[in-house]
Chains A and B, each alone.
Chain A
């Protein structure tokens, strides 16, 4: 399209949009560094005069907040942070590894049936609350309730369509001839894929890994219904804090929220050129 300069009105619109997009992020970060006296002040305090890290400290040591005369933080969030890391990292690694082989298989040998897209779409549209029900039943029969193994298995299955189709779109971009040349040099098909295909889609592999990590780290419902005492993740812990105190621990909750979103925003910026591809199952390649 023909590029023209912005008119002043358009520049104003873009600035307004920028403020709207960033204000909620600004608010949560500011709340996370407010001392308890500022949490729910009326009128609300926008920028704390005495910023503090006590909210973040409280997440790992519930007693830290007591010097401000605030009780009610009964649980540290440490376990949920470890739980989130454990579940997301393991599930992401497995999902990308399995997805990588599926992607090459589908892209190069066309072993994909016409109904596959429909099955994937159905899987994605099924309300998670309902698919959680059979999981609760099956898991309680095989002793996987409230275990990371069960949670990770679900995360792998839930993200596998994304990793497979995103990676497939990267493999599709690669000319077949490159691998065939390696095979002519006497390499087996599998060796050719390992030594030629995979190194050539390194960038795509990284983007997919980050994207799947974002999905796993964000997951809430399955963790909510399949965790009791052993298992916890950050989103579940955040909901617990809000429920336990009717939401009055503003600063501590905000600190946990910031902790939850920070890695995702970093990962998101790193792969922003590939976000559209991931979200659309590789339908849109940017």
Chain B
């Protein structure tokens, strides 16, 4: 787990072309071969990513559904799907708000737990490598299986109720998936268990990369451990923290697999996330065009959100990428 000093903050995916290893790249001769090497990837991306996205974009402006035959026979309806979604569709609005709330709660908890564990890991103790592997285990398990495992744990005759009864007495058993707040709680617990290890992993590599000299200097100047942590360590951890939040935000906005296994969005629509709503629109109700419009609204919103998240560290990241 040794980490070199400059590692943690560089973010190549957020920075423009960064010539590496000194000097300018040998352009004139290299350009053609560089292009040739990148070409296969570009072709795959265009065929399998860009074209479907364009089809979906076109579709979102029509009233197409599978019963209408070919996509190009469908009527062009302009922004009707979009205005319907934004103005009238309260189910969409609630799905968005619900996803945002669940995301905010999950990410905060994952951050607090992940940071606490990472700080504890900066201490000296035996068996560290083994414990490190054990703590990473949840994030290696596939989301569907995580959803299934917690579905079992939350059964009325399952171990979670059993433990609650043992601690709180016979009345403590709950029907987790029959009550809206409990179902949401179950989703949050599942998600936090699954992804706290990622925050732990990213923040630990950030902590390992905190330069030692400022910490030493602060200690010599008489700073308390608390002051050292909040005034010296945390500020240099900021870019890593933001990278962790951005990466997790991108994923949790699409939250689907775990919820599908746990509750299918129920009871009612208490745990219906954006992805689940779009899935139901497209594959249960066959409102494909409408679903596509919803997806583009989500994409726009998510891009804006990520932009805001990245704003405070953008310059730092660009510098580090050079």
- In the complex, the answer to whether A6 meets B56 with C-beta atoms within 8 Å is no
- In the complex, the answer to whether A10 meets B13 with C-beta atoms within 8 Å is no
CA distance A280 to B199 in the complex (A): 11
- In the complex, the answer to whether A272 meets B132 with C-beta atoms within 8 Å is yes
- In the complex, the answer to whether B250 meets A109 with C-beta atoms within 8 Å is no
- In the complex, the answer to whether A126 meets B299 with C-beta atoms within 8 Å is yes
- Judge whether A64 is part of the interface by a CB distance below 8 angstroms: no
CA distance A17 to B121 in the complex (A): 12
Bitwise, A15-57 to B at CB < 8 A (1) or not (0) is 0011011111101100100000000111110100000000000
Query: Chain B residues near A111 (CB, 8 Å)?
Result: 31, 34-35, 38
- Judge whether B152 is part of the interface by a CB distance below 8 angstroms: yes
- In the complex, the answer to whether A40 meets B215 with C-beta atoms within 8 Å is no
CA distance A208 to B131 in the complex (A): 24
CA distance A61 to B78 in the complex (A): 54
- Judge whether B19 is part of the interface by a CB distance below 8 angstroms: yes
The distance from the CB of A234 to the nearest CB of chain B, in whole angstroms, is 8
The interface-forming segment of B79-87, B103-111, B180-188, B289-297 is B289-297
Query: Chain A residues near B260 (CB, 8 Å)?
Result: 220, 239
- In the complex, the answer to whether B152 meets A125 with C-beta atoms within 8 Å is no
Query: Chain A residues near B206 (CB, 8 Å)?
Result: 284
Q: How many residues of chain A are within 8 Å of chain B by beta carbon?
A: 113
Query: Chain B residues near A6 (CB, 8 Å)?
Result: 120, 123-125
- Judge whether B253 is part of the interface by a CB distance below 8 angstroms: yes
Which of B16, B198, B250 is most buried by chain A, counting CB atoms within 10 A of its CB? B16
CA distance A188 to B231 in the complex (A): 53
CA distance A6 to B71 in the complex (A): 64
Q: State which residues 137-167 of A face B: CB under 8 Å.
A: 137-138, 153-154, 156-157, 160, 164-165
The distance from the CB of A102 to the nearest CB of chain B, in whole angstroms, is 4
- In the complex, the answer to whether B148 meets A214 with C-beta atoms within 8 Å is no
- In the complex, the answer to whether B279 meets A261 with C-beta atoms within 8 Å is no
CA distance A50 to B6 in the complex (A): 54
CA distance A272 to B11 in the complex (A): 20
Q: State which residues 151-185 of A face B: CB under 8 Å.
A: 153-154, 156-157, 160, 164-165, 168-169, 172, 174-177
- In the complex, the answer to whether A264 meets B40 with C-beta atoms within 8 Å is no
- In the complex, the answer to whether A272 meets B133 with C-beta atoms within 8 Å is yes
- Judge whether B221 is part of the interface by a CB distance below 8 angstroms: no
- In the complex, the answer to whether B44 meets A218 with C-beta atoms within 8 Å is no
In the complex formed, the residue of B with least CB distance to A24 is: B149
Query: Chain B residues near A189 (CB, 8 Å)?
Result: 29-30, 33
Which of A13, A124, A133, A264 is most buried by chain B, counting CB atoms within 10 A of its CB? A133
- Judge whether B140 is part of the interface by a CB distance below 8 angstroms: yes
Query: Chain B residues near A225 (CB, 8 Å)?
Result: 279, 283
- In the complex, the answer to whether A218 meets B142 with C-beta atoms within 8 Å is yes
- In the complex, the answer to whether B120 meets A14 with C-beta atoms within 8 Å is yes
- Which single member of A104, A156, A165 contacts B48 (CB below 8 Å)? A156
CA distance A154 to B161 in the complex (A): 41
CA distance A217 to B216 in the complex (A): 46
- In the complex, the answer to whether A238 meets B145 with C-beta atoms within 8 Å is yes
CA distance A3 to B219 in the complex (A): 13
Which of A6, A109, A153, A238 is most buried by chain B, counting CB atoms within 10 A of its CB? A109
- Judge whether A134 is part of the interface by a CB distance below 8 angstroms: yes
Query: Chain A residues near B157 (CB, 8 Å)?
Result: 40-44
- In the complex, the answer to whether A283 meets B303 with C-beta atoms within 8 Å is no
Please name 20 pairs of A and B residues whose Cβ atoms are closer than 8 Å in the assembled complex, sorted by A.
A4-B123, A5-B125, A17-B135, A41-B157, A102-B38, A111-B34, A112-B17, A128-B254, A128-B275, A129-B276, A131-B56, A220-B256, A238-B261, A239-B261, A272-B136, A279-B202, A280-B243, A283-B243, A284-B206, A286-B7
Question: Interface of A with B (CB < 8 Å)?
Answer: 1-6, 10-11, 13-14, 17-18, 20-25, 27-28, 31, 40-44, 46, 98-99, 101-102, 104-114, 117-118, 120-135, 137-138, 153-154, 156-157, 160, 164-165, 168-169, 172, 174-177, 189-190, 193, 214, 217-218, 220-221, 225, 235, 238-239, 242, 247, 250, 253-254, 257, 260-261, 264-265, 267-269, 272-273, 275-276, 279-286
The 4 closest A-B pairs by CB, nearest first: A109-B34, A130-B295, A268-B140, A105-B37
Task: Beyond the given A109-B31, A129-B276, please list 10 additional residue pairs across the A-B interface where CB-CB is below 8 A.
Answer: A3-B123, A4-B124, A25-B138, A101-B38, A108-B30, A125-B254, A130-B291, A132-B282, A133-B295, A279-B202
